[in-house]
Structure 1
Amino acid sequence: MKHLLYLIAILLSWQAAGQDLQSPEEFLGYPLGSQFTRHHEVVEYYRHVAAARPGQVRLETYGKTNERRPLMVAIVGSSTHMTNLETIRQEHLKALEGQGKSDIPVVWLSYNVHGNESVSTEASMQTLYELLTSRQDYLEHAVVILDPCINPDGRDRYVNWYNQYKNTPYQPNPESKEHQEGWWNGRSNHYMFDLNRDWAWLTQVESRQRLAKYQQWMPHIHVDFHEQSMNAPYYFAPAAEPYHEVITGFQRRFQETIGRNHARYFDANGWYYFTKEVFDLFYPSYGDTYPTYNGAIGMTYEQGGGGVAGLGVITATGDTLTLKDRIAHHLTTGLSTVEVAAGNAGALTSEFRNYYANPGNFKYKSYVMRGNPDQLDALTELLNRHNIRYGHARPGTARGFNYRNQAAGSMRLDADALVVPTRQPKGRLVKVLFEPDARLSDSLTYDITAWSLPYAYGLDALASEAEVPHTLETREPQVKPAFTESAYGYLTDWNSMADARFLAALLQEGIRVRRITHPMETAGQAWAPGTLLIQKGDNRNHPGFTATLKKIALAHSKPLTPVSGGFVDAGSDFGSRSVGMIPKARIGVLAGEPTSTLRFGEVWHFFEQQLHYPLTVLDADFWDRAKLENYDVLVLPGGRGYRRFLTPERKGRLKQWVAGGGRLIAMGEALDALGGEQGFGVRAKAGGPQATDTDAITPYAQGRREGIKSAITGAVFQTRVDPTHPLAFGYADSYFSLKLGNRAYERLASGTVAYLEPNARPVAGFAGSEALKDISGSLVFGVEAHGRGQVVYLADNPLFRGFWENGKLFFANALFMLD
């Protein structure tokens, strides 16, 4: 009897709580769409809903942003499902092994990955409310996970800006200030990274924390809510070509099933929409493709609007697009998605099991890699985050496609070789991330077309058609640096970002370090250029030198070799001019116009989150007042506004600073404005042949496809490298570079470090025929001496999206290895 009374009391409390559930308008005190809701208010509403419906809503915080805003999901279901939620989750995860009997689909709705595409967070609150009120029947057949804001830092940046500058109530004229967001816009996260391109690379704290939660659920459907041009109608599935070949027939068909259901509602309301255009399913790091490659129905929904739309804006057709309109559209597709999932529960759950039970019969059964241990460790860290299984090879020989030679070859194997098999639950994802060159069904794509991880991590790799024997044991490196009281100093190698972080930590602690610029032999081994010397005499005035060095070496798992004196067996002795001191460089980085927010963010993130070395951000508006003599190194990130920014006066000031001993690192488009009669020695390379009046006229309908001939959509090229140059210390005589366009520069007469050979072709990805002519034989990286200083030219971007791991040492060399 007591148990019965207890259950009745619980039910009554749930009913009472349910009567207290407020709509977003009731809770916030204003109609949705009449104002933008700040992130803390969104969090408060979700907490209110969870408290009012404890039997149907579970709120889980999965992390924090760089600016300490909470990241959270609401898990929503019927009271029966929520009572058995953990059982449902565990039964569903058995599907990853092709097992389990769960028939309850999991739908994950992700909102506001781009901060100034701000409508979707507003829509998420109404979607949550409707699921718990008018659409409760959907929850009898599905579990829904809502992430109200993937990018709270960016969204609050936009919302706070808009609330500061908008008219009252609002001004729909698109020329008004409230529609003209500035350079530091809200699209990206704190470090100006595009989180919608980071799902696979996991460079950002939001992405890593979100994926850990995602891996706990592995949903059947994942939707990424976006906004596009304010003049565009709504976009929903099915997606455009190219589809990656691993995408199954069911995944393709179900996209259309969902799209047709959306269309039914949009048609009834007289709303415009489009499908099968622009947004493809190829690049693996989006919020639609990454879930797709993990078995889900991954989709992007795009509402017209974005940062220019505000609360209302007059479009090109003369109509006024309001925030209320945008909310209604995202609300409709969100609910429609759950409706379709609930109505097709059996097909979704069974096909998800089939996805993992039948992972595909791929040409390559194993990917085998050897190379720098630090690079291998960095790669396995990424694989661990994705729950991708790997192991170490058994002694023998593997045969297959050699990535470096682009031909059939073999590789000797030992226990240090890494093997990633495709016969595993994440086999399709392995193929997508590791295959030498992904097959394109259409060259018109929305993003880069090459990303193969062996190239990105600078590893010798083989794609084998056989299952290469390996063990799944993982081994943690045991590094115990050797310290002796009688040591003259310590040597350690230089060939990875791990080494750069170690050096940065030493400099931060005031430990003096030298670099060796020529090959030498001592302490029973050979040492390559770039080797670090940490000498006791240089640090005689450092209190606790040995203890500090030991602490840092252990923290960075960095082996040190003690040397007993400065007389070497071969090469230059330690007192030679070829063994120079590495100064603790003072770094300044240009921000604002003319730089790209993304390119600036890559540099900013590199210093603070990868290298852990201080920088000063110099805003473009402050540039003329900055005391350049306070900086040893200045970085100009890529961007399209340098021709306007680098006036003759500013260029002359830069030249004077470099001549006095400064080091200028120019990236991407910044090179365009540095040349010329009054500039430095870099010169744009002449393009391919120009059209003549006898050439055939391209029909208008074919214009875009003809234009792709002059484009390079993120292709990988093998470049030639001068490994004797300090900018290339730690590299061999070739480097695989990710090229993002056909912008090209002439090689330098002296100081060319990496370049494309004439008639170079991509080893992976798409490059148009005319673009190949433009870049033939062009400069990739180079250094020009100017007075007592230097200019470093980085025509390609070694820091692109933070994931091209093998390029980062070039940037570190530009900071620390040049004389």
Structure 2
Amino acid sequence: MNTRYALYLICCLFIFTASVTAQELKSPSEFLGYAPGSRFTRHHRVIAYYRHLAEAAPDRVKLQTYGATHEHRELIMCYISAPENISGLETIRKAHLESVRGNNNNDKAIVWMSYNVHGNESVSTEASMQTAYDLLTEKQQWLENTIVIIDPCVNPDGRDRYVNWYNQFANSPNNIDPDSKEHHEPWLNGRPNHYMFDLNRDWAWLTQKESRQRVKVFNQWLPHVHVDFHEQSINAPYYFAPGAEPLHEVITDWQKEFQATIGKNHARYFDANGWFYFTKEVFDLLYPSYGDTYPMYNGSIGMTYEQGGSGRAGLGVLTVTRDTLTLKDRLDHHYTTGISTVEIASRNAEKLNEEFRKFYTKKDFKYKNYVMSGNPDHTKALTRLLDKHRITYRFARQATVKGYHYATGEQGSLKTSEGDLVIPANQVKGTLVQVLFEPTTQLNDSLTYDITAWALPYAYGLQAVATRTETIPLLDEEQPAKDTLSVAPDPEAYAYISDWNSMKDARFLTALMNAGIRVRYSEKPFSVAGKEFERGSLIITRGDNSAHKGFVQQLSDITEQYEKEIIATPTGYVDQGRDFGSSSVKMIPEVKAGLLSGKPTSTLNVGEIWHFFEQQLQYPITLLDTDYFNFSRLSGYDVLILPEGSYGEFLDEEKKDRLKNWVKNGGKLIVIGNALHALKDDKDFGLKEKQQDTTSLKKNTTPYTTWEREKLKDNITGAIYKVNVDRTHPLAFGYPDTYFSLKRGNNAFQLLDEGNVAYLGDRGDPISGFAGSEARKKIANTLVYGVHRHGKGNVIYMVDNPLFRGFWENGKLFFVNALFMVH
């Protein structure tokens, strides 16, 4: 065989192989067996399609499993680019991250697209598959200088919940009548994750495992562009960037400009198709925990795209304009903006890299350092969050630091102890630090989509100063803050004592209880063994646990696991206070708790409580659905929790009487947020709403165009309030005499006849965040947390939800106290 003929055969074989490979790369319709937009695809089939792409085009596609959900569904990233980029993906990633240090060696644009963070906004996952396929075929010219990262489904548990429900109840063929059952999801709809959390509001707080796993990868890439695909009302046209006011002041001019550049390109395609859209309305860029703002504060061009549809749309639905909105329509719109985003990023790769590097150059922030002092457990909890965001921190020496004092809202000073936390603004994540720690958020528009205050020192219950001083006395880098070291318990001790002032202590308690170890607590301060102990301190006696085999060793193991310091005492005779046999030293009972769920409760608050028990407190809870509440044996529960919700007709007089009798016989009822309205004006519940006359001629004659803004006077949009606390009450054990509460509305209830544990004073002014002028007047001198005694039991009122979105760390001990300390 001559050389020329051999080369000819090799070329033919190469062409044949390439042809076979190209034929093997199947479109979504070829692989799934149905046209995109004609059916919903379950998550395992979506994963299978992306695996197919990776197998058919391994030189251009790389898959990464980055985690799993609570319901054990796989979470994946799909990297799509030209062959030379995929082969050098890790080199490109590292070169890009060097940009944050001013070394701009990367010339590729990095575009990350997140689909289906809300499970019932289900079209985006369908669009992701078509987008991925077309990028590998007819749109592959944009991949020469662009890495596209696709997360096809951020929330698989919610999405499969919706898809399975829809497939179960959809007509055949589908019914476009909006009254049809297929357009009305049940109470637990597909929007949230397993624990009913809104994952689109968890980017900064990272309370959910999906968020933690995703943000870990996000911070390994820090893309130039991040798009979060959503859906909204069936009657709304498409929304894309630019975002609405208020825009946070740290957002750069370039980020605003590039949002507009992308938006104009989307408009070009939408105009050509005659599709309706809007920009610069509704979806602002302020709250830091969204899928557009969190990337913005990390240097990306973060954007939300909103298609009309969501859980009501199904395969097709009739809109208010008598048009039929189909799943195929929705898919086409999301596909178009996704492709348009990649196109503009590819055309502007050089500029994206240049501006990304500029974003990370040193900025002249108003505050140079954030210095925090307080409970070491709270500090440790905060540093765990900072580590997940790759925010650096140092530890202070003993000194006096001056600056803006968070507790007073004025200039002041803070005496630091060795090991107190210092977070410098001058660091790679400086912009994110500025947003998460700033004492007050600058609002250029008070009409916002979410809360307006979230500063982490308040959330973690730490004393803090924001200082304009660059230099703070610091420990050497080799000397981090010291963790508390556990010491093996003395097996001959009469009792072992532990403090009570953090969620770490709460988890220590539940670990002991789950192990069958009996624990007491003191209602009074006392001193013994040369140490002073506050109210709520835990007391574990050998006598209470004499029947527990291996008690001392198990106590030692749990103490070591939770890094707890326990003090052994050879006697129950205290130096000051009440001895351990006193009636004020009470046994902590095993508590069986029930949580009302189902209509009309709030899925979000039910999820917050459910997650708190199982994932944070590690203590069991039973969900009791409203469908069978009448048949539930309440006598089997020590605690019943009424979460937020509009109870309306559900909580009728018969059910109220049942609750009253249960409380009267020793039950403990915990009522949260707007659920309090269901119990007001009933003498047995002792709760009255505060009324305020806001009628005025001006209000009645407000022009139509200013109605929305006029209503802001009555609203509180997530503001932080300084609250007075009766720290002698068991509900407040572990707290100082003030507490900073996140208030999300103008609910106002009069102070109780007694049992006012936390309450607002004469002024209704927040220390941070927005509150309207009328709302400020209304909430002055009102209840925040209180306990009403009824018979042998108690009703615990929590006007402000201490478990809101799981991130207000300092409020959680109130809830634990309600479970175990209030009797």
Say if 2:488 is the partner of 1:485.
no
Q: Residue in 2 aligned with 1:413? A: 416
Say if 2:60 is the partner of 1:56.
yes
Q: Residue in 1 aligned with 2:769? A: 765
CA contact (8 A) 2:420 2:481 kept: no
CA contact (8 A) 2:425 2:433 kept: yes
Q: The residue matched to 1:216 in structure 2 has which SS?
A: helix
Q: Residue in 2 aligned with 1:662? A: 667
Correspondent of 1:709 among 688, 710, 713: 713
Change (3 A) 1:462 1:183: same
Q: Residue in 2 aligned with 1:228? A: 232
Change (3 A) 1:185 1:95: same
CA contact (8 A) 1:63 1:70 kept: yes
Say if 2:532 is the partner of 1:526.
yes
Gaps of 5+ in 1: none
The one-letter amino acid paired with 2:798 is L
Q: Residue in 2 aligned with 1:387? A: 390
Q: Residue in 2 aligned with 1:451? A: 454
Q: Residue in 1 aligned with 2:576? A: 570
Change (3 A) 1:245 1:692: closer
Q: The residue matched to 2:648 in structure 1 has which SS?
A: helix
Q: The residue matched to 1:680 in structure 2 has which SS?
A: coil
CA contact (8 A) 1:228 1:304 kept: yes
Q: Residue in 2 aligned with 1:732? A: 736
Q: Residue in 2 aligned with 1:439? A: 442
For the residues of structure 2 that align with 1:466 and 1:534, how far apart are their CA atoms?
A: 46
Q: Residue in 2 aligned with 1:296? A: 300
The one-letter amino acid paired with 1:71 is L
TM-score normalized by the length of structure 1: 0.98
For the residues of structure 1 that align with 2:185 and 2:259, how far apart are their CA atoms?
A: 34
Query: How do 1:547-626 residues align onto structure 2 when only pairs under 5 Å count?
Result: 547-626=553-632
Change (3 A) 1:656 1:788: same
Instruction: Using the TM superposition, name which of 692-701 and 205-214 deviates more.
Output: 692-701
For the residues of structure 2 that align with 1:434 and 1:246, how far apart are their CA atoms?
A: 13
The one-letter amino acid paired with 1:310 is G
Correspondent of 1:786 among 786, 790, 805: 790
The one-letter amino acid paired with 1:354 is K
Q: Residue in 2 aligned with 1:685? A: 690
Change (3 A) 1:18 1:534: same
CA contact (8 A) 2:104 2:354 kept: no
Q: Residue in 1 aligned with 2:806? A: 802
Q: Residue in 2 aligned with 1:28? A: 32
Query: How do 1:538-549 residues align onto structure 2 when only pairs under 5 Å count?
Result: 538-549=544-555
Q: The residue matched to 2:487 in structure 1 has which SS?
A: coil
For the residues of structure 2 that align with 1:247 and 1:186, how far apart are their CA atoms?
A: 32
For the residues of structure 1 that align with 2:469 and 2:313, how far apart are their CA atoms?
A: 54
For the residues of structure 2 that align with 1:656 and 1:41, how far apart are their CA atoms?
A: 52
Runs of 4+ in structure 1 over 6 Å off: 1-12
The one-letter amino acid paired with 2:346 is A
Change (3 A) 1:501 1:8: farther
Instruction: Using the TM superposition, name which of 90-99 and 59-68 deviates more.
Output: 90-99
Q: Residue in 2 aligned with 1:281? A: 285
Q: Residue in 2 aligned with 1:653? A: 658
For the residues of structure 2 that align with 1:70 and 1:4, how far apart are their CA atoms?
A: 46
CA contact (8 A) 1:243 1:281 kept: yes
Correspondent of 1:156 among 160, 183, 191: 160
Cα deviation for residue 476 of structure 1 reads: 5.9
Cα deviation for residue 563 of structure 1 reads: 0.6
The one-letter amino acid paired with 2:679 is L
Cα deviation for residue 690 of structure 1 reads: 2.8
Q: The residue matched to 1:539 in structure 2 has which SS?
A: coil
- Residues paired across the two proteins, number: 816
For the residues of structure 2 that align with 1:622 and 1:121, how far apart are their CA atoms?
A: 36
Correspondent of 1:644 among 649, 672, 692: 649
The one-letter amino acid paired with 2:691 is A
For the residues of structure 2 that align with 1:721 and 1:443, how far apart are their CA atoms?
A: 30
Q: Residue in 2 aligned with 1:354? A: 358
Cα deviation for residue 381 of structure 1 reads: 0.1
CA contact (8 A) 2:640 2:670 kept: yes
For the residues of structure 2 that align with 1:724 and 1:317, how far apart are their CA atoms?
A: 60
Q: Deviations over 1:171-220 (max 9, x none)?
A: 00000000010101000000000000000000000000001111111100
TM-score normalized by the length of structure 2: 0.97
Q: Residue in 2 aligned with 1:507? A: 513
Say if 2:116 is the partner of 1:112.
yes
Q: Residue in 1 aligned with 2:320? A: 316
CA contact (8 A) 2:484 2:565 kept: no
Q: The residue matched to 2:649 in structure 1 has which SS?
A: helix
Q: Deviations over 1:108-151 (max 9, x none)?
A: 00000000000000000000000001100010120000000000
For the residues of structure 1 that align with 2:163 and 2:97, how far apart are their CA atoms?
A: 38
Cα deviation for residue 428 of structure 1 reads: 0.5
Q: Deviations over 1:9-67 (max 9, x none)?
A: 89975653232100000000011111100000000000001100000000000000000
Change (3 A) 1:727 1:12: farther
Q: Residue in 1 aligned with 2:759? A: 755
Cα deviation for residue 818 of structure 1 reads: 1.0
Change (3 A) 1:693 1:90: closer
For the residues of structure 1 that align with 2:608 and 2:599, how far apart are their CA atoms?
A: 16
CA contact (8 A) 1:74 1:147 kept: yes
Q: Residue in 1 aligned with 2:309? A: 305
For the residues of structure 2 that align with 1:470 and 1:164, how far apart are their CA atoms?
A: 62
CA contact (8 A) 2:716 2:770 kept: yes
Q: The residue matched to 1:114 in structure 2 has which SS?
A: coil
The one-letter amino acid paired with 2:423 is V
Q: Residue in 1 aligned with 2:366? A: 363
For the residues of structure 2 that align with 1:72 and 1:136, how far apart are their CA atoms?
A: 22
Instruction: Using the TM superposition, name which of 235-244 and 467-476 deviates more.
Output: 467-476
CA contact (8 A) 1:482 1:561 kept: no
Change (3 A) 1:297 1:695: closer
Change (3 A) 1:406 1:122: same
Change (3 A) 1:521 1:14: farther
The one-letter amino acid paired with 1:256 is A
Correspondent of 1:195 among 182, 193, 199: 199
Cα deviation for residue 385 of structure 1 reads: 0.1
CA contact (8 A) 1:718 1:737 kept: yes
CA contact (8 A) 2:395 2:481 kept: no
Correspondent of 1:535 among 532, 541, 556: 541
For the residues of structure 2 that align with 1:766 and 1:4, how far apart are their CA atoms?
A: 75
Q: Residue in 2 aligned with 1:145? A: 149
Change (3 A) 1:378 1:398: same
Q: The residue matched to 1:75 in structure 2 has which SS?
A: strand
Cα deviation for residue 614 of structure 1 reads: 0.2
For the residues of structure 1 that align with 2:102 and 2:720, how far apart are their CA atoms?
A: 36
Q: The residue matched to 1:375 in structure 2 has which SS?
A: helix
Q: The residue matched to 1:25 in structure 2 has which SS?
A: helix
Q: The residue matched to 2:520 in structure 1 has which SS?
A: strand
Correspondent of 1:340 among 344, 349, 352: 344
Q: The residue matched to 2:86 in structure 1 has which SS?
A: helix
Say if 2:634 is the partner of 1:628.
yes
For the residues of structure 1 that align with 2:510 and 2:152, how far apart are their CA atoms?
A: 38
Q: The residue matched to 2:688 in structure 1 has which SS?
A: coil
